[in-house]
Structures are given as structure tokens and as C-alpha cells.
Structure 1
Amino acid sequence: MLQKDQTVFVLVDVQGKLAQIVNDSEALHQNLEKLIKGLQVLNIPTLWLEQYPDGLGPTSESLASLLEGQQPIAKMTFSAVGNEEFMKQLEIIGRKQVLIAGIETHICVYMTAAGLVENGYEVEVVEDAVSSRTVANKQIGLEKMKGLGVSATCVETALYELIGEAGTVEFKKVLKIVK
């Protein structure tokens, strides 16, 4: 189970035109917005990645605006584990459970998850907050991750798992976000 004091969120490459043409882009963005807002209520740290931003463009405005005050980590490697700055920031945060979402499921999300597992992290992929250009590619990425021991979750499950109980102030705030 995800634990509030052990979880970090990694947002992978939701940028430029690609973010608009992936399968079910609108639902992806809505779910990522809910996830980010809910994680902020719970004070879960976020590491925000951008793949080759000079070529692919910036993160979608609806998401970047939620991460105001934070800077994205630019990378050229498909796996963020190959990025020195990402690994340094992950180490500083010091948490061993990684919630991962973004695009594309079968490339950067999968390769980052694989690298994190290889480095001893417990990884959960948020299935309703990842996408690829095709449904088939998304499924391949999810299957490959599951084969490595990555657990699957969804926005609501992840948030409620982190909250743990109803009736709290956090629960009430998150309920307003997800409903």
C-alpha cells in the first residue's frame, strides 16, 4: 500500500503536440489534474519531467499551471533514471514508493519505471493517467511494467490509499477534487 510519508509522484513528459494527440488526451489531462491537485492536498512531492523540451515543447499549460513554483527536469534519456538531476532530486526527497503517470506509456513511462524498479524503488503506474498514441502501445507498456513487478492503480485508488480514512480534512478536500 502507498504510504503518505514514503510516496513521491513522477510526472512524465506531458508536453507539446504529443500531449494533444495521444489516445484519449482529454481524459488523460483531466485525470492528471485531479491527481496533481489531490497529491498537493496530501503534500506528496512531485518530480516533473520534460523530454527534450526544445524539440517537443513545454508541458501542457493546464498541468504546468498546477505546478507553479516548481521547475521541470529536462531530459534527453527516455528513462529518467539516466538523468543525473532527476536521480539527485529523487535521492534528496528520500522516498521509496514512486507513483508514476504521463506519456508515452510504452516508452518514457515504461523505461523510467523499469529503471526505478532496478534501483530498488516500489513503483505504481496510474493506469488512467498514462497514455500513448495508440491503445495497443499503452497496453504493451502496462504489460511490460507489470512483468517487472510494477503495480497498477488509478487516480482515485491512489489518492484514497494515501488518505487512509474518511472524515478527515484531507479526505473532504480530495473528495471535492475527484467528484
Structure 2
Amino acid sequence: MMNDQEISFDKLSSKVNALIIIDIQEKIIRPIFNKDSIIKNIKKLTNAYQILEENIFISEQNPIKLGVTIPELSPIAEFRKFEKMEFSLAKIEDFLKELKDKKITNLIVCGIETHICIQQTVLDCLQKGFEVTLISDSMGSRSRVDHEIALQRMTQSGAILTTTESIIFELCKTADREEFKEIRNIIMS
């Protein structure tokens, strides 16, 4: 008999996944603890996701005051951007409608700040019945303790915790896949 986590991991497929990149904006990221590593990991995740999957969503918190997504993290593939004033992306009706229209059930989440916009989005999405996977090394806060406590709170509420490399291999599924060489190069960069 499989446990709940095994069941949810089996659900990872291109038909139901979405990569959610939350608020990677210049004015927000400047004071973030470990920001260089976070940016590098989100870049790997975005590059791999564009090869393996198709649904990428980006949010920007008050972009007029806080700026747009930093250029090196803007996906090349088609993506949907949502500007928001609410901390939770799940309060945006257009976002929820798009997830419903595309029959997306699993959200792969990265970005900043873990304890504010990510946490509120994740808790709201869990409450709405979405499966949420947190990419712990592709998100952060200004303080390490805020990041760690938010991860604990979200996992206690039902989110699944993993890392950038782990989720990329999980999405790839097999070394036999023709894209694997490209994926391996992204991970090794």
C-alpha cells in the first residue's frame, strides 16, 4: 500500500503541473539571505522546466514600486504573469481560473519571500485542494529563521518539501529521455 506522499509524487505529469515563480523582483531580492544561490537554483529550475513541462506562472508584487521580475529569471518559453497587491497569489481570480482551465492540480513553488507571499499563497492553495511542492533551496527570506519556520508551517499544512535538483530529476523521470543530456547540463552548471 502506498502512502500519501508516494501517491502525490506519482501524479507529477506535464498535464497537471505548474511552476509558480513568486516575486523575484530587484527591490525585493536585494536583502534576501543567500540570494545568489536562490537565483542560481531558480534559473536551473526555470531552464529545466521549459524543456520538460509547459505551465509557468510568475507573480510580481506591486511592480510599479518594486520593479519587475529580474531579467535573468524571465522564462524564454511562454508564461503567464500576474501583478498583485495581495500577498497571496491565490487571491487573484484570473490565476485560479487559469489553473482550473488547464486542469492543473500540482503547484511547484519557488521565489521570495518564504514567510510572506509564498507562505500565504501556499496555505491558500492547499486549502483550495492543490498539491504543493516547495523547492526549499529556490526560495528565501531576509532572515534564515523566517524561511525555516515558514517551511515548517507549510509542510505541517500538507505541502511537500524538496530541492531544485531533486524536482528536476523527478520531472525528467528517466535518463532514457531525449532531453536528459540537456537537463544534465543544466544541473551541472
Tell me if both proteins adopt one fold, taking TM over 0.5 as the criterion.
Answer: yes
Q: Which residue, out of 128, 145, 155, partners 2:137?
A: 128
Question: Partner of 1:26 in structure 2?
Answer: 36
1:15-70 residue CA offsets vs partner (Å, 9 max, x unmatched):
12221220111111100000000000012310110011111111111112x34654
Q: Which residue, out of 94, 101, 122, partners 1:92?
A: 101
The letter of the residue matching 2:183 is V
1:156 Cα deviation from its structure 2 partner: 1.1
TM-score of the superposed pair, with normalisation by structure 1? 0.94
Question: Partner of 1:77 in structure 2?
Answer: 86
The answer as to 2:149 corresponding to 1:140 is: yes
1-structure distance, mates of 2:14, 2:168 = 10
2-structure distance, mates of 1:156, 1:170 = 15
The answer as to 2:186 corresponding to 1:177 is: yes
Q: Root-mean-square deviation (CA), in Å?
A: 1.3
Question: Partner of 2:65 in structure 1?
Answer: 55
Q: Which residue, out of 157, 162, 170, partners 2:166?
A: 157
Native 8 Å contact 1:8 1:95 kept in 2:
yes
TM-score of the superposed pair, with normalisation by structure 2? 0.89
Native 8 Å contact 1:4 1:163 kept in 2:
no
Question: Partner of 2:17 in structure 1?
Answer: 7
Gaps of 5+ in 1: none
With over 3 angstroms needed to count, the CA separation of the structure-2 counterparts of 1:98 and 1:54, relative to structure 1, is: same
Which sits farther off after the overlay, 131-140 or 83-92?
A: 83-92
Q: How many residues align?
A: 178
Counterpart secondary structure, 1:40: helix
Native 8 Å contact 2:87 2:121 kept in 1:
yes
Q: Which residue, out of 44, 54, 67, partners 1:44?
A: 54
1:113-152 residue CA offsets vs partner (Å, 9 max, x unmatched):
1111101100000001000001011011101101101000
Percentage identity across paired residues of the two chains: 29
2-structure distance, mates of 1:59, 1:95 = 23
